[in-house]
Structure 1
């Protein structure tokens, strides 16, 4: 009985110790917050709720678990000046775990340091001095487009990569991406093949009439050499501040970048580096709308053209082969929706047949599979039907979303005529 009681006591102690340790573990996504600062009072209470936001990811900073160990009531505030992107880091906690041979608190600043703007502040008074010295209306680059969203004016610029002040600014602003783009890396600004576009918001304080101009988005493009005398522009990074997402800013930025790259006489086609699902949806909508308008203007009926003609037409607009197929499918899907159920079924059947052919090609005559079979290693049989159905359902779903947005957009235009 005594042994049993001792065992229970030990389990209770271990349980309490585990619970105690858990109070020192924090999810970085919960304790890290960003705030855009225009004036000193933004340090205390945000003038707008939209000035503050949380990160989407932190595994590059704090490891795969994204956990921070060793602190109670931890908060990490990353304050960025609205125009210059100068930064202040404010780490607060109520208690730190005593250091021992068995446990040690994580070094937060060591983890953050590689991903923060150079010369970031850790003293509030130093940052307040930066606020007082901030130039609120600086814009880098040549303005190539303007647009209005929700009564706010925006300018899109193409930046001068030789401008040292711009490079310093971009190195500060691009530090946001590690928290929002998986596997993000900072680009080499000494490589002249990079082109960077920025979106600036013009804002006027209704109480003081003071004017502000703030960078809210950027896009980087790398111009790959294409033999013998062409280039292949590739969109690499595409970032919109969380405070400005879902307002059409990304759509306007992509459309402007696409038109600029399309106009380059030596550009063969425009590609994107590993597009995220969110970016692919934006790209599908913009490319499809652009081509739809051009087809309408030139009175071309997509349904009467064969794939070869359509692909040649899309390549003329410098849309790369894979994206050209998607744009064709989106517009064909839009057309068959208008023409009735039977036409839509015929369209989906053609898509399924194409996917079945692709799956068959991939599984038939694979050199690797043949080599394995020759050595006597049996491979798992491929369920082609299940594979085709899965790919088909996934692809049709990916088409329906831009089709729905395109249809809604065109309906609004028609209603406003």
Structure 2
């Protein structure tokens, strides 16, 4: 009987990533077009770590946005809902409430009303000032496409409301995401759109965005920090993230008060993108010529990278290591060993700091307290860990160099 009851409960469990479908709707015909549907990468920030929903069979969650204004529709359907009396008294999850708490009030739950509002997208004008416009190369299967990036802040009328809808996407694509208070005047935004023709008129479709917070840097400078960056799934794989980051660099390089650009807790994906852009840029600088790279990391590299591209010192060190790897002949044992030692010396800095801290602590504690407080590792264990760190770093760097080579 217990097995039967458990089976009955499990039959009402749905994978929340599979149940949810998103769309950016340009035309009513997109509603029935499966190719315009995209899925979340994660849903634990709404439905919990298990990323599952209890209480329904054949559950479908439709979260649709008009492509320009991001007017929102939430639709929920299912073939059967659980009877708590037959499932140990367990109530079904309130799916609508869980999602609605994250959406801007006033979203549609009636598809006809959503379609009526879709027509208003024709009057949409991007917020802020046009920062950059560019076209991608077409091919036999896809014509060239035009993209625009707009720079804006909270002073742009209507943007705060638009951003409230825009930022809901991060829940499905950025881990540990949190909504930001755009009322803070130090926030800056770069929003990318695809510009296209429909019915003979120019239209815009949201592609993605980047948010930055402008921190004060003594005495009269600014240090922008990248907070969030997202290119929506329908537009991924086109190099648009690279173009968005380059646009941000171009904007801030033109501002003399900006010292450098930092990144708040970068994901592995974003770090790889950042490495690619920074390495491509710095490879053209005199300070990063092959002969300079083999001579070691220098302050001249930091100064030129900061002046030309607002790259900070920590990121400049990564760029140096990647470019030095590019120009290192791994068949030359001495040259390759020199490179590995240079990287390992940098990786070993935290360990050396830890050892200094231990020495200070030992002076303050007796032997018993010291041994109870400090965790020891042998020299062999430390060397093994350092070697593993190096292998992981080199693999990351080679991924960046492979992409550079593919670009030609």
Paired residues, number:
393
Q: How far, CA to CA, are the matches of 2:327 and 2:231 in structure 1?
A: 32
| Aligned match for 2:354, one of 330, 355, 362 | 362
TM-score w.r.t. the length of structure 2 is 0.89
**Residues 401, 369 of structure 1: alpha-carbon distance in 2 compared, 3 angstrom cutoff:** farther
What residue is the counterpart of 1:293 in the other structure?
A: 284
Equivalent of 2:125, from 121, 135, 138?
Answer: 138
**How big is the shift at 1:110?**
1.2
* Structure 2 counterpart of 1:377, from 357, 372, 375: 372
Q: Secondary structure at the match of 1:118?
A: coil
Aligned to 1:319, the other structure's residue is in SS state coil
Instruction: Tell me how large the CA RMSD over aligned residues is.
Output: 2.5
Q: Aligned pair 1:396/2:384, yes or no?
A: no
More displaced stretch, 217-226 vs 132-141 = 132-141
SS of residue paired to 2:177: coil
TM-score normalised by the chain length of structure 1: 0.87
Q: Which residue of 2 aligns with 1:196?
A: 189
Q: Is the 8 A contact 1:261 1:267 kept in 2?
A: yes
Residue of 154, 157, 160 corresponding to 1:161:
154
* Contact 1:262 1:270 survives alignment (8 Å): no
1:117 to 2:112 alignment: no
Contact residue 372 and residue 379 of structure 1 kept, 8 A: no
1:137–1:214 Cα contact (<8 Å) kept: no
Determine the C-alpha separation between the residues in 2 that align with 1:255 and 1:296: 21
The corresponding residue for 1:4 is none
Alignment partner of 1:264 is 2:255 = yes
Kindly indicate whether residue 341 of structure 2 is the aligned counterpart of residue 349 of structure 1.
Answer: yes
Distance of aligned partners of 1:235 and 1:373 in 2 relative to their CA distance in 1, 3 Å threshold = farther
Alpha-carbon deviation of 1:158? 0.6
| Maintained 8 Å contact 1:219/1:236 | yes
Name whichever of 91-100 and 132-141 sits farther off: 132-141
User: What's the CA shift for 1:338?
Assistant: 9.1
Query: Does residue 23 of the first structure (1) align with residue 23 of the second (2)?
Result: no
The aligned residue for residue 5 of structure 1 is none
Contact 2:282-2:288 at 8 Å conserved across structures: no
Q: Structure 1 regions of 5+ residues with no counterpart?
A: 1-12, 413-417
Map 1:48-59 → 2, pairs under 5 A: 49=35, 51-59=36-44
- How far apart are the structure 2 equivalents of 1:406 and 1:378? 47
Aligned residue number for residue 70 of structure 1: 55
Shift of 1:401: 1.3
Contact (CA 8 Å) 2:287, 2:301: kept in 1 or not? no
Deviation at 1:233, TM superposition (A): 0.5
Hey, what's the Cα distance between the residues in 2 that align with 1:378 and 1:273?
32
2:115 pairs, out of 115, 128, 131, with: 128
CA distance in 2, matches of 1:52, 1:391: 40
* In the alignment, structure 1 residue 94 sits paired with structure 2 residue 79: yes
Stretch deviating more after TM superposition (269-278 or 56-65): 56-65
For 1:321, the equivalent position in structure 2 comes to 313
C-alpha distance 223-14 of structure 1, shift in aligned 2 (>3 A) = same
Q: Is the 8 A contact 1:352 1:388 kept in 2?
A: yes
